[in-house]
Amino acid sequence: MPMENMVSNFGGTSKKSTLTDERVIIFAREDEGSPRQDILIKMCPIDFASFKKCMHANGNDENRCLESKNILDKSSALAFKKVNAAPSDQWVY
């Protein structure tokens, strides 16, 4: 048996493996009750409420709420840094 076939039989080639999972799993980010929403509500309540109010008033068109979104993005970046640095038992979902 040529060496190339032996390697192929034992999975040593660049053949696509059946052991890899290439699906993209999308986690809820903006759904009510999602962990991200909970963190924003607790740590950026004013900025979050302002953005949600704008979104509701503009038919959920994010392009019309870029000012409040940018403000929320800045405060949420700090909030998520704090959450990521917190002890693991402090933010459990």
Ranges of beta strands (E only) in the chain are none
Residues 57-66 have a mean pLDDT of 93
pTM > 0.75: no
Percent of the chain with pLDDT over 90: 48
pLDDT of residue 19 exceeding 80, the answer is no
Return the pLDDT at 4: 47
Buried b (16+ CB within 10 A) or exposed e, 3-13: eeeeeeeeeee
Return the pLDDT at 68: 95
pLDDT of residue 47 exceeding 70, the answer is yes
C-beta of residue 50 within 8 angstroms of C-beta of residue 43: no
